[in-house]
Amino acid sequence: MSDDPTFKPGLEGVVAAETELSSVDGQKGELIIAGFPLEELAANARFEEVCYLLWHGELPDQPTLKTFRTTMASYRELPAATFSLLAEAAKHGASPMDALRMATGTFDLDVAGESDMVKAKAITARVPPAIATYWRLLNDREVIPPRHDLSRSSNYLYMLTGEVPGPETVRGLETYLNTVSDHGLNASTFAARVIIATESDMVSAVTGAIGALKGPLHGGAPGPALDMVFEIGSADRAETFIREKLDRGERLMGFGHRVYKVRDPRADVLARAAERMYRAEGDMALYELAKHVEATAIRLLDECKPGRNLRTNVEFYTALLLHGIGLDTPIFTPTFAMGRVAGWIGHCFEQQRNGRLIRPESAYIGQKGRQWVPIEQR
Ligand code: COA
């Protein structure tokens, strides 16, 4: 047993890693990614720049970025086995997150003997084509092969729709992906670090992380958050709807956070990006309704859960932004994975450099001294 055997449910407040990748200050509502304030990085960087930053610790210069993007784009084709697996998953109607989890396990088939950096690029490059391919298969639509001349985000939307998206839409998606690229020792990142810390491999770590991200308490919330806005439908129904939900003891998706006790700074960045998109080419009425639902939810959460400081989290505006970009709700969480994969891999590299096997202890609360009873006497 350790010197401090106190059990911390959910490991709350326990520091289990040192990282240079991101700093989350839950009291100030501040997120720093590799030294940059989120607000600055998210709205300006291309996603590939953020990958490079998280994996190498520095921003790339122009030639470096060009080579990095080209190399990554060269892995966009899915291995044949990945495609067959996705086709089989579609026949069974698997959820997009389950399909992505299965597909990810095959992403390194053709690069098995290569370095971890090659695997990192292949995995990161293949997440969007796998989601887009699966979504089209599931909806009985012809699969669109990737294009190598487009950015990773642009190619994703192209593979989903067959149309090359406009710059405003791509900027919206890139801002989202950058915003969710890393976030301290969240559950999926912790899962990735636990796996890689055993000297297992990148694909296993990312596959495990996807499993952790799937749950509604982590990455599965944006779909339900948007459903709530649609169900409410008009501003005058918001108060009754939300009050009834809270009276039934239900949680409001898109609100509350384990670490942030003030407004999640990612919500602000995404709210601004969503407003920009909706003003440029979207349904402003939906945006206004969401703002009203948010304000009502916060007021009622303060009333029903006093002292809990439950505020808007990243998922609420994720939902609005991704809907505005034209994505269907079932692929919101896979799209989250498309951004967070940069952080998972950055943490794997960091864990490989500095880490130690992660092996906490448990406090045994079961019985002792029981006596074995042979099966025929039970
Ligand atoms: N709606 C209503 N009540 C909520 C709530 C929400 N979204 N989030 C927390 N609460 C309440 C809990 O019911 C609990 O109340 P109680 O003390 O009266 O029982 C209290 O606030 C503390 O909740 P707890 O589960 O201990 O907080 P946590 O730190 O473990 O939870 C989340 C963090 C994110 C899991 C939680 O806020 C949640 O479930 N949010 C909704 C899902 C979501 O948006 N997830 C995405 C996260 S980025």
Name the closest-CA residue to atom 21, ligand 1: 308
How far apart CA 239 and CA 292 sit, in angstroms, is 10
Point out the residues that are catalytic.
257, 315
368 pLDDT higher than 60: yes
How far apart CA 254 and CA 81 sit, in angstroms, is 36
Q: For ligand 1, pick from 186, 214, 255, 270 the residue to mutate: most ligand atoms within 8 Å of CB.
A: 255
pLDDT recorded at residue 33: 98
* Ligand 1 center–CA 218 separation, angstroms: 11
Q: For ligand 1, pick from 182, 186, 214, 305 the residue to mutate: most ligand atoms within 8 Å of CB.
A: 305
Asked if residue 181 lies in contact with residue 50, where contact means CB atoms within 8 angstroms, the answer is yes
Nearest-10 Cα torsion for 130, 41, 31, 343: 30
**Which residue ranges form the domains of the chain, and what is each CATH number?**
22-219+342-354 (1.10.580.10), 222-325 (1.10.230.10)
The stretches of 74-186 forming alpha helices (DSSP H) are 80-91, 96-104, 116-138, 152-161, 167-179
pLDDT recorded at residue 225: 86
* Ligand 1 center–CA 185 separation, angstroms: 18
How far apart CA 255 and CA 227 sit, in angstroms, is 14
Mean pLDDT of 24-45: 95
Ligand 1 atom nearest residue 308's Cα = 21
Name the closest-CA residue to atom 22, ligand 1: 308
Q: How confident is the model over 180-204, as pLDDT tens digits?
A: 999 999 999 999 999 999 999 999 9
Closest CA to 319 of 242, 188, 187, 220: 220
The share of the chain scoring above pLDDT 90, in percent, equals 84
pLDDT recorded at residue 204: 98
1 pLDDT higher than 70: no
Name the closest-CA residue to atom 15, ligand 1: 305
Ligand 1 atom nearest residue 250's Cα = 2
How far apart CA 374 and CA 61 sit, in angstroms, is 70
* Ligand 1 center–CA 251 separation, angstroms: 7
Closest CA to 19 of 339, 345, 351, 352: 351
pLDDT recorded at residue 315: 87
Asked if residue 255 lies in contact with residue 201, where contact means CB atoms within 8 angstroms, the answer is no
Pocket of ligand 1 (CB under 6 A): 217, 221, 251-258, 305, 308, 310, 313-315
pLDDT recorded at residue 223: 81
* Ligand 1 center–CA 217 separation, angstroms: 8
What is the pTM for the complete model shown? 0.90
* DSSP calls for 283-303: -HHHHHHHHHHHHHHHHHHHH
Write out the two tokens for 216: 């509604």
* Ligand 1 center–CA 12 separation, angstroms: 14
Name the closest-CA residue to atom 37, ligand 1: 256
Write out the two tokens for 64: 């470096």
* DSSP calls for 299-366: HHHHHHSTTS---B-HHHHHHHHHHHHT--GGGHHHHHHHHHHHHHHHHHHHHHHH-----------S
345 pLDDT higher than 60: yes
Closest CA to 33 of 44, 20, 45, 43: 20
* Ligand 1 center–CA 77 separation, angstroms: 40
Q: How confident is the model over 210-224, as pLDDT tens digits?
A: 999 999 888 877 788
Ligand 1 atom nearest residue 256's Cα = 37
56 pLDDT higher than 80: yes
343 pLDDT higher than 80: yes
Number of Cβ within 10 Å of residue 197's Cβ equals 18
370 pLDDT higher than 90: yes
Token pair 């006093």: residue: 306
Q: For ligand 1, pick from 310, 320, 333 the residue to mutate: most ligand atoms within 8 Å of CB.
A: 310
105, 203, 340 from 109: Cα distances, Å: 9, 10, 22
Ligand 1 atom nearest residue 12's Cα = 29
Mean pLDDT of 323-350: 96
